[in-house]
Amino acid sequence: MFRPIYEPRTRAKEYSDLAINIYTGCNHGCWYCYARKNFDRWHPNEDFADVKPREGIVEATKQQLSGGKYKGKKIMLCFTCDPYPADIDTTPTREVIQAIKNAGAHVQILTKGGDRARRDLDLLDSGDSFGITYSGDEKAEPLAAPQAERMATLFDAAKQGINTWVSFEPVLDPKIVLGAIVIIPKFASEDTLLKIGKLNHYKSDTNWGEFGREAERICKENGWNYYIKEDLRAEMEVEP
C-alpha cells in the first residue's frame, strides 16, 4: 500500500512540512495551474480534469497514521489537487480529515471550493487551519467557487475558532489583491495569516517589487499576520 503523506519540496515547503493529495487532478480549470502542466507531461493520455479519488487513499492514510508518528503535526490538503473539486462526491476528503484528526494530528486546508468546504468545518478545531486561494481574477478559475464565496466560508471558519489563512498566489490582479489584504482580516480574524506571493512561470507587466512593498506596508500598518513568499521577497529587494 502506498504512503500518501509526504514532505513537500522547494516552493511548496513554504506552505507546509507535510502534505497529502487526495485526488488525481482538478477540474477548476485554472489556466496557470502548475500541477496540470506536470500531470500532462507524465500522463499525456489522461485528462487532468477527470477527477477521481486516488485508489485506496482513505485506507492508505489510516495505515500511515497508525504508528503515531504524525501525532500533533499538521498535514496540508492539498498541493496537486483541491480537496473540494467541483461536481464530484468529496466524501474521501471528509474521511481523510477524520482519519488525521483521529490520529491526533491536524489539517491545513487550502481550497477554492467555497461552500463545498462548509460540510467539513465541524471536524476542525483551533489546532487546524482553513485557507483559501485568492488570485484577484476568478475568470482565470472558471469552475472554482467565486472569490466572494470563498471569503464567506473563510469568515465562517474564523467564527468557529478555526485558524484561517489566505494564499495570495498567484497574484493575477494586484490591485484587487491589495484591496483584499486590507479587508479580509477585518472580517475574518486579525490573526488570519496572509501568505503573499506573485505570478511565477509566466510573463507579467506587474512591478512585483512595488506590489510587494505596498502589500507589506498595508500589513504592517494594520498589524496583520503575514508572510512574504521568497520569490516576491527577492523582487522587493531589487532597487527601485
What pLDDT, on the 0 to 100 scale, is given for residue 12? 66
Task: State the pTM of this model.
Answer: 0.94
Give 178's pLDDT tier (boundaries 50, 70, 90): very high
Mean pLDDT score across all residues of the chain:
94
Given a contact cutoff of 8 angstroms between Cβ atoms, the answer to whether 15 and 110 are in contact is yes
Q: Is the peptide bond before 78 cis (omega within 30 degrees of 0)?
A: yes
Q: Domain locations in the chain?
A: 10-168
H helices of 106-207, in order, are 147-159, 174-187
**71: number of Cβ within 10 Å:** 11
Q: How do residues 67-83 score in pLDDT, each as one tens digit?
A: 899 999 999 999 999 99
Q: How do residues 28-61 score in pLDDT, each as one tens digit?
A: 999 999 888 787 777 777 888 899 999 999 999 9
What pLDDT, on the 0 to 100 scale, is given for residue 65? 97
What is the pLDDT averaged over residues 220-239?
95
Give 221's pLDDT tier (boundaries 50, 70, 90): very high
Q: How do residues 132-175 score in pLDDT, each as one tens digit?
A: 999 999 999 999 999 999 999 999 999 999 999 999 999 999 99
Q: Tell the CATH superfamily of the 10-168 domain.
A: Aldolase class I (3.20.20.70)
Given a contact cutoff of 8 angstroms between Cβ atoms, the answer to whether 121 and 162 are in contact is yes
Q: Is 158 left (phi over 0), alpha (psi -120 to 50) or beta?
A: alpha
* Distance separating the N- and C-terminal Cα atoms of the chain: 53
H helices of 70-109, in order, are 91-102
What pLDDT, on the 0 to 100 scale, is given for residue 39? 78
